[in-house]
């Protein structure tokens, strides 16, 4: 079967099954192009909550499918590959986190959305890279906070706000791998380029970046920049599809630690393929199923994030 035929079948099945396809910016271009909404974690969580369709096909990773199910539990939420996990979410196992919380009982828990439903259920507020700063800033300055699981995003927010949040020692394998030495080499080679970085990168990289933001913030930053034509991109490769589509005249160089590797491809995000999207819709698999009590517990901190994001005018 040719690619166009597969895509034709996906679009037909989408209508027949009353499905909505949500795709993250780290998905392969073909998946982004067939998605009803492509976005960062914040926008996709909001779209999942608002979805009226019977089926939500989430093209991203497992924790994103879980978030969709928590926010819209009456819908059938499916993902193309059950193995599409996340190294950052895996870096924060439930039992160890319970212990960590016990040791710091007077702390409020803010967890980055890249964590399992069980960690969400143990949290007070969820945040994404697009709203973390404003959410933290909305809390009293003397509020003791545990920030999990990403030490890089948490450290970055600490630096910007002058706070001293207690950080869980987790990170994303794709962003953590990138060294400032390599990024500097690329900056020297491309002195006219602007460096944009995701806050999951380590602090040394973030310190030398010209702009730091979530995937959609990076895209709007580039879209608004009419002075520069070259950008060094410190995040997962999938983002270049949208950057290039919106800015065909600009050049994007993904910074990797080794030009011969595909280390900036998230091995989990890239498990999703057009073939898997097709069989996922055809067979309505793989379904995200969560215990009702867990849904109830995990929903509160995510809802808190969504309503705070509206109050703080991050979301409409
Ligand atoms: P955002 O798209 O929210 O910036 O998240 C990036 C990410 O790591 C998703 O796994
Ligand atoms: Fe997880 Fe990193 Fe992949 Fe995002 S890019 S899904 S944080 S491993």
Q: Are residues 104 and 140 in the same domain?
A: yes
Query: Into how many domains does the chain fold?
Result: 3
- In a domain? residue 68: yes
Q: Are residues 104 and 92 in the same domain?
A: yes
Q: Are residues 279 and 143 in the same domain?
A: no
- In a domain? residue 72: yes
Query: Which ligand has an atom closest to residue 272 CA?
Result: 2
Q: At 33, which CATH number?
A: 3.40.50.10800
Query: What's the order of all strands across the beta sheet hosting 55-59?
Result: 37-39, 19-24, 55-59, 76-78
Query: For the packed helices 41-50 and 62-71, what is the interaxial angle rounded to 10 degrees?
Result: 40
Q: Are residues 78 and 120 in the same domain?
A: no
Q: Is 222 in the pocket of ligand 2 (CB under 6 A)?
A: no
Pocket residues: Cβ below 6 A from ligand 1: 25, 40-42, 114, 128-130, 172, 198, 200, 214-215
Q: Are residues 246 and 274 in the same domain?
A: no
Q: Are residues 21 and 58 in the same domain?
A: yes
Mutate to test the pocket of ligand 2, among 177, 266, 270, 272 (most ligand atoms within 8 A of CB): 266
Task: Check: CB of residue 61 under 8 Å from CB of residue 269.
Answer: yes
37 C-alpha to ligand 1 centroid (Å): 15
Q: Is 63 in the pocket of ligand 2 (CB under 6 A)?
A: no
Position 1 scores a pLDDT of: 87
- Cis check for the bond before 134: say yes or no (omega within 30 of 0): no
Q: Are residues 110 and 149 in the same domain?
A: yes
Task: Check: CB of residue 44 under 8 Å from CB of residue 64.
Answer: yes
Q: Are residues 80 and 98 in the same domain?
A: no
Position 315 scores a pLDDT of: 83
Average confidence (pLDDT) per 10 residues, the chain, 316 residues: 96 98 98 98 96 98 98 98 98 98 98 98 98 97 98 98 98 95 95 98 97 98 97 97 98 88 90 98 98 98 95 86
Helix (H, G, I), strand (E, B) or coil at 18: coil
Q: Is 268 in the pocket of ligand 2 (CB under 6 A)?
A: yes
Task: Check: CB of residue 146 under 8 Å from CB of residue 165.
Answer: yes
Start-end of H helices in 247-312: 274-283, 292-311
Residue 113 forms beta bridges with which residues? Answer: none
Q: Which domain holds residue 204?
A: 178-254
Query: Which ligand has an atom closest to residue 269 CA?
Result: 2
Query: Which ligand has an atom closest to residue 170 CA?
Result: 2
- In a domain? residue 259: no
- In a domain? residue 10: yes
Task: Check: CB of residue 244 under 8 Å from CB of residue 33.
Answer: no
Which residues in the chain belong to E strands, given as ranges?
19-24, 37-39, 55-59, 76-78, 108-112, 125-127, 145-148, 166-167, 194-197, 211-212, 230-234, 251-254
- In a domain? residue 262: no
């Amino acid at each position: 079967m040719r690619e166009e035929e597969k895509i034709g079948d996906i679009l037909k099945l989408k209508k027949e099954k009353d499905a909505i396809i949500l795709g993250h910016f780290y998905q392969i271009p073909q998946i982004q192009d067939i998605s009803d909404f492509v976005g960062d974690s914040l926008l996709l969580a909001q779209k999942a909550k608002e979805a009226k369709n019977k089926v939500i096909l989430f093209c991203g990773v497992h924790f994103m499918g879980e978030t969709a199910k928590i926010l819209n539990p009456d819908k059938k939420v499916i993902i193309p590959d059950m193995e599409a996990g996340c190294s950052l979410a895996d870096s924060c196992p439930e039992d160890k986190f319970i212990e960590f919380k016990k040791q710091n009982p007077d702390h409020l828990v803010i967890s980055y959305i890249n964590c399992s439903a069980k960690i969400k259920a143990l949290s007070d507020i969820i945040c994404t890279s697009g709203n973390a700063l404003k959410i933290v800033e909305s809390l009293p300055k003397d509020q003791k906070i545990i920030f999990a699981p990403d030490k890089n995003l948490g450290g970055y927010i600490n630096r910007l706000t002058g706070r001293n949040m207690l950080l869980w020692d987790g990170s994303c394998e794709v962003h953590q791998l990138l060294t400032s030495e390599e990024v500097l080499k690329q900056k020297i080679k491309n002195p006219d380029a602007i460096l944009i970085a995701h806050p999951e990168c380590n602090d040394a990289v973030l310190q030398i970046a010209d702009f730091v933001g979530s995937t959609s913030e990076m895209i709007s930053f580039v879209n608004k920049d009419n002075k520069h034509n070259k950008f060094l991109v410190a995040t997962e490769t999938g983002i270049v599809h949208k950057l290039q589509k919106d800015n065909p005249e600009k050049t994007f160089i993904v910074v990797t630690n080794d030009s011969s590797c595909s280390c900036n491809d998230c091995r989990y995000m890239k498990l999703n393929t057009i073939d898997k999207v097709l069989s996922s819709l055809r067979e309505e698999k793989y379904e995200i199923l969560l215990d009702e009590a867990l849904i109830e517990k995990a929903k509160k901190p995510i809802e808190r994030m969504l309503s705070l994001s509206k109050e703080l005018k991050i979301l409409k």
